[in-house]
Structure 1
Amino acid sequence: MRLRTRGEAIFEWFNYTLLVLIILTCLIPVLNIAAKSLSDEASVMAGEVLIWPIHFTTDAYGIVLGSQKFLTSFRNSVYITMVGTLLNVILTVCTGYALSRSRLKGQKAIMMLYVFTMLFNAGIIPTYLVVKGAGLINSYWALIVPALVSPFNMIIVRLYFMNLPDSLEESGKIDGASNVRILVSIMVPLAMPVIATIALFCAVEYWNSYFDALMYINDAKLMPLQVYLREMLLNAADASNNVDMLAQVNVSQESIRGATVVAATLPIVVVYPFLQRYFVKGVVLGAVKG
């Protein structure tokens, strides 16, 4: 192995320094919010909390998790995310597999239509009229159906299936398997990395979505967690207005906001490590072939 030149060493040092600064820029605000949610009122109000809790307390989490509004919105988000992700993955896999087969009539035309939707869309008002015309207003399905098949995810899945050898499908046909059986028993097990990847994409998208709920949902009992979080953060005058169980202990509004943000973010953070090992592999293998 040759020794690095001075220029290469400086360049490597610069890259590491830049990456560390980017990591700190993203990480410090998160740590600050978490620290405030675990600190007492006096420390937060005095501005003493940076990235480590002072006078550790979980009172803010007791208030937030005891709020009926929070629990209702959390349950709504869990339902929307689980159902939406499941249906999205099923439809995306089926569509991607079908469009990966060259024998499909009109394959190129269908692909052009999908790509067209990535470049152009009808806009907010026409989309709202379509959702309203379908009778989905003020229901969970208004937040699930419009995003059921993502063209970007479908293209990744399609390219992944195109990279699989045709001999796998041919062996299944020799054994008398139908197209559905080939997809379920042969293709899907081999495509688990890309399926896990798009499942993570879909779950994050459904979990973080709030604008659709603002447009399509009028019933407060159907609002997802992100809308509750948005109202909590925008109401700077009194965060406790959004918490139906008033604090009987000394907890600052900043601590309540921090606890709400952490509780809203934690589910995705917990799920991510289980899918992260598939993430890079699924995207890279799905993008090898154009």
Structure 2
Amino acid sequence: MKIKESLGSRVFDICNNIFMVLLILVMVYPMVYVFSASISNNALVASGEVLLWPKEITLIAYNNLIYNPDLWMSYWNTVRYTFVHVVLTLIVTAAMAYPLSKKWLPGRRFILLMAAFTLLFSGGMIPTFLVVQKLGMLDTIWAIVLPTLISTWYLFIMRTFFEALPEELEDAATIDGCGSFQVLLRIVLPLSMPVMATIGLFTAVNQWNAFFDALIYLNDRDLYPLQIMLRNILIAGTNVQGEGDLSHLETLKYAMIIIATLPILCVYPFIQKYFIQGTMIGGIKG
């Protein structure tokens, strides 16, 4: 029997579809504009004549960036900072979240309260800088990775996910002779791919886009990440070819944005399925 849809429901569907189309246009337009501006004539971009589609297409901005050694050095730095940060964050967060998901852990409530305390209060930028300096981590990869290694918010998300896993699986593994570490490695983590992929992607995006830590902790230009180079072009107005050559500055800005954003845009579609799985967890009960 076909259920007749009410007038209010049809009106809602129409308004919802219109809203979603407008939302898509609002999100897509900046990406299309940035790409169009990156391959357009610099003078037309600077004068505001490029609104959507490229005009007088040229790849000179990309040519200047691709053949610049600083780009590849900063790209390599960003890739290794992001990779190390994501791997260590997942390992340390999982190692802390798993025991905190067990009610039998001594001092569990106190540890959770201390972790929650850091959501409201932090030491601040200057004390953190002094700690990094005293530990001798300035101008090293650890100055970028270690201060932000654990996110309390991600810790609580992973702990909640671990609590939702069936205890029977862990009990069966324990009966088979697995220790706590083996249970975590062989049972819990393989079942936790949605939350691991989600936290890993969020951590990767945050680290990929981060520039402030590098700005205050790094003095060696050979260690600068991609975002510092992007900042120099966008904010400081420094051309990669030299401060005196500003003939292609506008298109360089947009080309640099495309180059800096492209890796994250390429990775996201492969991890999207884990977001869908994550939203469905707990929605169906047997």
Report the TM-score when normalising by structure 1: 0.90
How far has the Cα of 1:105 moved from its partner?
Answer: 1.0
Counterpart-to-counterpart distance in 1, 2:283 and 2:115: 17
Aligned twin of 2:5 = 4
Residue 227 of structure 1 is matched in structure 2 by 228
| Counterpart for residue 162 of structure 2 | 161
Secondary structure of 2:222 counterpart: helix
1-structure distance, mates of 2:92, 2:283: 20
Equivalents in 1 of 2:235, 2:46: separation in Å? 19
Instruction: Tell me which residue corresponds to 1:32.
Output: 33
Cα drift, residue 42 of structure 1:
5.2
CA contact (8 A) 1:157 1:286 kept: no
Q: Secondary structure at the match of 1:85?
A: helix
How do 1:1-290 residues align onto structure 2 when only pairs under 5 Å count?
Answer: 1-41=2-42, 43-45=44-46, 47-236=48-237, 239-240=238-239, 242-243=240-241, 252-282=248-278, 285=281
- SS of the residue 1:44 aligns to: helix
Checking the alignment, whether the CA contact within 8 Å between 1:156 and 1:287 is kept in structure 2 is: no
The one-letter amino acid paired with 1:243 is Q
CA–CA separation in structure 2 for the residues paired with 1:117 and 1:287: 31
1:245 Cα deviation after fit:
11
Q: Is the 8 A contact 1:67 1:245 kept in 2?
A: no
Q: SS of 1:17's equivalent?
A: helix
Q: Give the counterpart letter for 2:264 in structure 1.
A: I
Contact kept, 8 Å, 1:63 with 1:245, in 2: the verdict is no
Give the CA deviation at 1:45.
4.7
Over 4 Å off, 4+ runs:
244-247
Provide the aligned C-alpha RMSD in A: 2.3
Code of the aligned partner of 1:276: Q
- CA displacement at 1:286 relative to structure 2: 8.0
Displacement after TM superposition at 1:251 (Å): 6.7
Q: What is the rounded CA distance, in whole Å, between the counterparts of 1:116 and 1:173 in structure 2?
A: 34
Tell me the distance in 2 between the aligned counterparts of 1:82 and 1:275: 16
Kindly provide the CA deviation profile for residues 65-105 of structure 1, in whole angstroms up to 9, marking residues without a partner as x: 11122211111111100011000011111111111112211
Provide the rounded CA distance (Å) in 1 between the counterparts of 2:70 and 2:46: 26
| Distance change >3 Å, CA 104–CA 286, structure 1 → 2 | farther
Alpha-carbon distance between aligned partners in 2 of 1:81 and 1:60, rounded to the nearest angstrom: 26
Normalising to structure 2: TM-score of the pair? 0.91
Unaligned segments of structure 1, at least 5 residues: none
Identity of aligned residues (%): 38
Greater mean deviation of Cα atoms: 75-84 or 278-287: 278-287
Paired residues, number: 283
Whether contact under 8 Å (1:76, 1:222) holds in the other structure is yes
Structure 1 residues 48 and 164: CA distance shift in structure 2, 3 A = same
Q: 1:95-134: per-residue Cα shift (whole Å, max 9, x none)?
A: 1111111221111111111111112112111111121122
> Which structure ranks higher in relative contact order (CA pairs < 8 Å, sequence separation ≥ 6)?
1
